[in-house]
A and B are shown apart, each in its own frame.
Chain A
């Protein structure tokens, strides 16, 4: 396997981790409810 492909696969794994984390936080982590009622808008922005 070439070094470039190896780095690209590593980047792919990191990006997948970021996406899975974001999806998990979006659906399963409730923000401490403020006046906004825990809206995720600010996080997403």
Chain B
């Protein structure tokens, strides 16, 4: 029987995992090992993928992947037919080391600590709490995609903490696994803190067994201990600590519980230095015999690697390519690998399973044995995750609820954000008028009024909208709904050649495209990773939001939320079509199917959401004081210079002449406005920015864009907010009173008196903003993640070309029809 055939609500036991390569390795490491109980929980709204429960956690898997797993309803049948290689549990007595022995000599006062653990185990929460940092945390796998460093002091010691990306094992299949392993072996941290999620202990301890084999000083942080207690279970962590011969400290990273004890244990371990002896994971007679032979051969060959021989032997037998490549540099590599192959055949023949499965089974066997003696049975079965999932991922309500959530998000961003936006706008206008009314005429006054207040002031008003959008994204991330969004969208994503996990970077892209592109590295398949990274720029980032709000509230005030939702939907549609095109044209081969962990729902704490919002607000304000201010000043300079005295005196003469005329006051004022308008227009046209704009105009004219829009789009390549600050500088208006940019845009006219922003131009402009590449930072991120300038350049040319074509079609077809 196959796992895909298991009915919803039914349970069975794993017999065998078929398939090959990364999928098989990952699925084994996640606990799909022989004899393990698995339950089919529910189907996604579109019938695929399916949510399964295994080892106290939940995982999403497609039918096409579940079909590769053989199951049986009878446990005996699942265990039958396996090789008779019973594991001698804890056969090797752990050597005695008293962690609290004060006689242990004091080592250096600086301790370098690496935080290692499964994805979503809470490493970053502990890191933030211990080091006082505000690194982003979320309730889904793969939030940390980079290593972060922080320092703290405790009991006279300085700790240098490194928060590493989450990993299920130390195999060589995904970039983060390789990175974590090479960090431990090459950077050699003094102590490893292995963060273990207490709520899914069995699976999390798998990585612990691998870390034990590396024989590095280690402390286990039993994180989210409150969740374990909440399920009515108890863990004798002292006994487990003695069995693994590693100190285990219960912690609750979010609340800070157990952190001082954890640090004290780190100090003890550090001080004990090389006196530490770790326990060997017992693999049973057959595997131990092969490991012994490999260790002997490695000793004979005199390996000088920075890994224990036993670890190298195990990894060679498991078929680890990275270790194999290292071994190939040895003089007697051929003999070693020939011996390895012989031992692999021997294992396969005797155990009737491949060595990879045999080692994984043995590790899980060891963990099961240890937990059997230390972990009590679950007594409380109240499962809020199951209740919430029955609604939020329901086959009828799942998708509508998701789109309702998105609509509420945009409605709140647009409507609620409008109030504080008005207040900030009023303050900016007042500040501008204060300078306008009290400062002597001159270039500095112009710079302050048009450059700084016109440019930066035009962008800063959108701060509340950005903060509200991020509050919703933070809620999605911290609650665990982000992973559900990926789960319910998987089938649709599959149809465009991607999988649900690609959906997470896409949603993150609504916030900022740069971290979204970086987060694609958690996708194992290179082809899916590449496609996801290239379509992320079509997700409307928060930098584009101010442009949308400005134009939507000015030109479509009645249907703002729907227009906004429409823009975001067009972005998603373009992304989908691009993904299909890329899959058919450039990435025809899907390399790795994907299995995704579904974390339990957790109520986001008020503090974490506020911190998230504050961090984003701070970033936005820093951006205002940095790149936006600099860009506004540059645009102002380009627009203000060169000054033409002859032209100015000609206009001054016209003004003087007007003063001498005897005309009614209103007529005089009207003529004065006309002269000032002509002065401004002629000055801007002859300025440096005017020349750049006119140089670009022939290309942009077919889209209905004037030179000012063209220049704004050009400056927006640095960052999208600069589009607004540039418009703020260029569309100065003619009034002596500081007007909002919205008013200035509404009154902008061509020399012939027709409005610059006709509905067709506005729609084309918004679509251009949506589709052309978001900013240089995103392009650099694509280059770094794809390791190729070629793909970064492709993204620039493709997105800009597509934006031009779509805006052209909108304007030309629209003009033709109307």
Contact with A along B34-59 (1 / 0, CB 8 A): 00000000000000000000000000
Of B394-402, B438-446, B736-744, the stretch lying at the interface with chain A is B438-446
Let me know if B633 and A41 touch, CB within 8 A: no
Of B19-27, B380-388, B572-580, B780-788, the stretch lying at the interface with chain A is B780-788
Of B92-100, B215-223, B368-376, B770-778, the stretch lying at the interface with chain A is B770-778
List the B side residues contacting A3 at CB < 8 Å. 444
Let me know if A37 and B443 touch, CB within 8 A: no
Let me know if A45 and B442 touch, CB within 8 A: no
Let me know if A15 and B145 touch, CB within 8 A: no
Let me know if B630 and A15 touch, CB within 8 A: yes
Let me know if B146 and A45 touch, CB within 8 A: no
Closest beta carbon of chain A to B162's beta carbon, Å: 10
Tell me the chain A residues, 27-45 only, with Cβ under 8 Å from chain B: 34-42, 44-45
List the B side residues contacting A34 at CB < 8 Å. 146-147
Question: With A19-B630, A37-B787 known to touch, is A4 a contact of B781 (CB < 8 Å)?
Answer: no
Summed over the interface, the residue pairs from A and B with CB atoms below 8 Å come to a total of: 69
Bound: A38/B165 CA distance, A: 16
Contact with A along B155-197 (1 / 0, CB 8 A): 0000000000100000000011001000000000000000000
Bound: A37/B783 CA distance, A: 10
Let me know if B633 and A35 touch, CB within 8 A: no
Let me know if A35 and B145 touch, CB within 8 A: yes
List the B side residues contacting A7 at CB < 8 Å. 444
Bound: A18/B631 CA distance, A: 11
Question: With A8-B447, A35-B165 known to touch, is A41 a contact of B634 (CB < 8 Å)?
Answer: no
List the A side residues contacting B443 at CB < 8 Å. 2, 4-5, 8
List the B side residues contacting A39 at CB < 8 Å. 518, 780-781, 784-785
Bound: A13/B633 CA distance, A: 11
Tell me the chain B residues, 439-481 only, with Cβ under 8 Å from chain A: 440, 442-445, 447
Interface size class for chain A?
A: 20 to 34
Interface size on B, residues (CB 8 A): 32
B619 at the interface (CB under 8 A from A): yes
A8, A15, A18 interface centre (most CB from chain B within 10 Å): A8
Let me know if A11 and B780 touch, CB within 8 A: no
List the B side residues contacting A2 at CB < 8 Å. 442-443
List the A side residues contacting B147 at CB < 8 Å. 34-35
Q: Which of B440, B619, B777, B784 is A37 in contact with, Cβ under 8 Å? A: B784
Let me know if B777 and A44 touch, CB within 8 A: yes
Closest beta carbon of chain B to A16's beta carbon, Å: 9
Let me know if A40 and B777 touch, CB within 8 A: yes
List the A side residues contacting B623 at CB < 8 Å. 45
User: Per DSSP, are chain A's interface residues mostly helix, strand or loop, or mixed?
Assistant: helix
Bound: A40/B518 CA distance, A: 11
List the A side residues contacting B442 at CB < 8 Å. 2, 4-5
For B629, give the chain A residue with the smallest CB separation: A15
Let me know if A44 and B775 touch, CB within 8 A: yes
Closest beta carbon of chain B to A25's beta carbon, Å: 12
Bound: A18/B718 CA distance, A: 15
For A6, give the chain B residue with the smallest CB separation: B444
For B718, give the chain A residue with the smallest CB separation: A44
Let me know if B777 and A12 touch, CB within 8 A: no
Contact with A along B682-712 (1 / 0, CB 8 A): 0000000000000000000000000000000
Q: Which of A5, A18, A36 is B146 in contact with, Cβ under 8 Å? A: A36
Closest beta carbon of chain B to A41's beta carbon, Å: 4
List the A side residues contacting B175 at CB < 8 Å. 35
For B441, give the chain A residue with the smallest CB separation: A4
Let me know if A12 and B637 touch, CB within 8 A: yes
List the A side residues contacting B633 at CB < 8 Å. 11-12, 15
For A5, give the chain B residue with the smallest CB separation: B443
For B445, give the chain A residue with the smallest CB separation: A4
Bound: A45/B516 CA distance, A: 13
Closest beta carbon of chain A to B104's beta carbon, Å: 33
Q: Which of B447, B514, B787 is A41 in contact with, Cβ under 8 Å? A: B514
Bound: A11/B636 CA distance, A: 12
Let me know if B445 and A45 touch, CB within 8 A: no
B15 at the interface (CB under 8 A from A): no
Question: With A4-B445, A5-B442 known to touch, is A41 a contact of B146 (CB < 8 Å)?
Answer: no
Closest beta carbon of chain B to A2's beta carbon, Å: 6
Let me know if B784 and A36 touch, CB within 8 A: yes
17 CB < 8 A contacts A-B: A2-B442, A8-B447, A11-B633, A15-B630, A18-B630, A36-B518, A37-B787, A39-B780, A40-B780, A40-B784, A41-B514, A41-B518, A41-B778, A42-B514, A44-B776, A45-B512, A45-B777
Binding site for B on A (CB under 8 A): 2-5, 7-8, 11-12, 15, 18-19, 34-42, 44-45
A sample of 4 more A-B contacts (CB under 8 A), given A4-B442, A5-B443, is A11-B633, A36-B145, A36-B784, A44-B775
